[in-house]
Amino acid sequence: MAGAPNRPQNLRDAYSNAQPHVKAALDAILEEAHKQALEVLAGRRSAVEHPQLVVAWAMLNPGVAALETQLAHFGPNLRHVDRHGAIWGTGKYEQLDPGWSEALVEFIEYRDNKAAFRTTPVIIDVPDTTTLALAGDWGTGFWRVGTGAEGVAKHINANRPDYTVHLGDVYYAGKQAEEEEFVRLWPRGMRGSFTLNSNHEMYSGAHTFYDQALAPGGPFETQNRNSYFALRNRNWVLIGLDTAYYASPDKLYNEGAIDDAGQGAFLCRLGAEVAGRRVIILSHHEGFDLKGETLTPLWNQVTGALGRVPDYWYWGHAHNAVVYRAHDNDKGLCRCVGHGAIPYGPAADLAGAAHVDWSETKVAGDASLPERVLNGYARISLDGATLAEKLIGEDGSVRWSR
């Protein structure tokens, strides 16, 4: 990617100085990411497994053709929307944005230097009538005028929810300046705010997640510097999980996991204590694939520890808005709300998918990125035993409700 604007200059140095076991683990996965990217751009594959890695192989190997040369096939805009909705272009936060290599630089440095995991989660009693706003993958900052993230924050603030929850991902790699900006801009709830750990924050070892995002005096101080928590009332218990810390670094923290001793025991205890109440899980990583066809190992971990399928589960990670059909009769109502800020397009794989009730397809009217569809967030209203939910666009429109 020679000559690309804003190209980080230290990726090759970071890679050459990596510990042998780190470099050996990365070699195969970086080459595979490049190969999968070529397949996506040739129309032979829906999406890539590790989207934050696709630019790295060509950066590290001068003889490898840069992926953006393939964009000429898609017309004068030099962009392509894959079947999962990712926008392939070289603009900021598009798939071939050279800035994604920052995640790899941080990963190499902190692969074996994670922050200490904290195991004193708060359990907070909330009113029986409570409103929450959930925004996933929102940590881009207001990176240009009129971003989706700015619209999302504006409408969350206007709705004045009791609690706001960030479902994780501060870009590119949860570094100090990125976390500080995220904390400064986050729309606070009237009673409090919470944030979840994520794969991107793990690239910097979760150090700044704990030290900056969860710092006393900030919007997330209610968490007592822990990465998981619970809210409860007479009818509901909401459990926020850290599905990133124990995810495998060999898979770049992209496949969510929880630990048995801490969060597994927490789920088990809450499952016993709140028998008869309905359960909502909040996490960064997903319980099944984008189309809702294949359960992830995380699904089995969570439901096994909880002892049941949750009534609702909201996650981010995938940059899309998707409402899934119930997994188990009227339980297991899952929603992907990872569309808080990253630009994305309509996902062809979701159109008519058997397990999908709705996904976002409305064009955002973004003159700089005409392929982009609406960013947004979820608004949850608890009123006694009743839960009402709305997915709201960056323009304030109700895009889906139940």
- Asked if 273 and 394 sit in the same domain, the reply is yes
Residue 1 lies in a domain: no
Residues 383, 400: Cα–Cα separation, whole Å: 19
Using the 3D structure, point to which of 75, 110, 145 is the last residue of a domain. Answer: 110
* Total structural domains within the chain: 2
Q: Burial letters for 316-352: b for 16+ Cβ neighbours within 10 Å, e otherwise?
A: bbbbbbbbbeebeeeebbbbbbbbbbbbbbbbebbee
The structure tokens listed for 237 are 């218990």
CA 175 to the chain's CA centroid:
16
Start-end of H helices in 239-386: 265-273, 297-306
What pLDDT score was predicted for residue 102? 93
Sign of the CA dihedral running 112, 103, 375, 353: negative
The structure tokens listed for 369 are 């990125």
Eight-class DSSP state of 296: -
* DSSP letter string, 233-264: -SSEEEEE---STTS-GGGTT-S----IIIII
What pLDDT score was predicted for residue 10? 84
What pLDDT score was predicted for residue 24? 87
Mind listing the pLDDT tens digit of every residue in the chain (402 residues)? 333 444 345 899 999 889 888 888 899 899 999 999 999 999 999 999 999 999 999 999 999 999 999 999 998 889 999 999 999 999 999 999 999 999 999 999 999 999 999 999 999 999 999 999 999 999 999 999 889 999 999 999 999 999 999 999 999 999 999 999 999 999 999 999 999 999 999 999 999 999 999 999 999 999 999 999 999 999 999 999 999 999 999 999 999 999 999 999 999 999 999 889 999 999 999 999 999 999 999 999 999 999 999 999 999 999 999 999 998 777 799 999 999 999 999 999 999 999 999 999 999 999 999 999 999 999 999 999 999 999 999 999 999 999
- Asked if 287 and 365 sit in the same domain, the reply is yes
- Asked if 67 and 141 sit in the same domain, the reply is no
The structure tokens listed for 204 are 């910097």
- Asked if 63 and 188 sit in the same domain, the reply is no
- Asked if 390 and 313 sit in the same domain, the reply is yes
- pTM of the predicted structure, to 2 decimals: 0.96
Cβ contacts of 302 within 8 Å, gap of 6 or more: 241, 258, 267, 281, 283, 287, 310
Strands (E), 140-220: 163-166, 192-195
What pLDDT score was predicted for residue 79? 96
Cβ contacts of 368 within 8 Å, gap of 6 or more: 144
- Asked if 320 and 388 sit in the same domain, the reply is yes
Range of the domain at 317: 123-401
The CATH code of the domain that includes 207 is 3.60.21.10
Using the 3D structure, point to which of 84, 110, 136 is the last residue of a domain. Answer: 110
- Burial (CB < 10 A; 0-12, 13-18, 19+), residue 97, is buried
- Asked if 248 and 274 sit in the same domain, the reply is yes
Cα–Cα nearest to 239, from 201, 273, 272, 267: 267
- Asked if 26 and 149 sit in the same domain, the reply is no
- Asked if 47 and 190 sit in the same domain, the reply is no
- Asked if 193 and 78 sit in the same domain, the reply is no
The answer to whether residues 309 and 103 touch, using CB atoms and an 8 Å cutoff, is: no
What pLDDT score was predicted for residue 192? 97
Residue 115 lies in a domain: no
Eight-class DSSP state of 206: T
Cα–Cα nearest to 140, from 131, 130, 150: 150
Cβ contacts of 36 within 8 Å, gap of 6 or more: 45, 48, 49, 54
Residues 18, 40: Cα–Cα separation, whole Å: 29
- Asked if 385 and 314 sit in the same domain, the reply is yes
- Asked if 141 and 71 sit in the same domain, the reply is no
CA 173 to the chain's CA centroid:
12
The structure tokens listed for 389 are 């939910």
Eight-class DSSP state of 94: S
Residue 3 lies in a domain: no
Eight-class DSSP state of 128: S
Using the 3D structure, point to which of 82, 110, 138 is the last residue of a domain. Answer: 110
Residue 118 lies in a domain: no
What pLDDT score was predicted for residue 63? 92
Residue 153 lies in a domain: yes
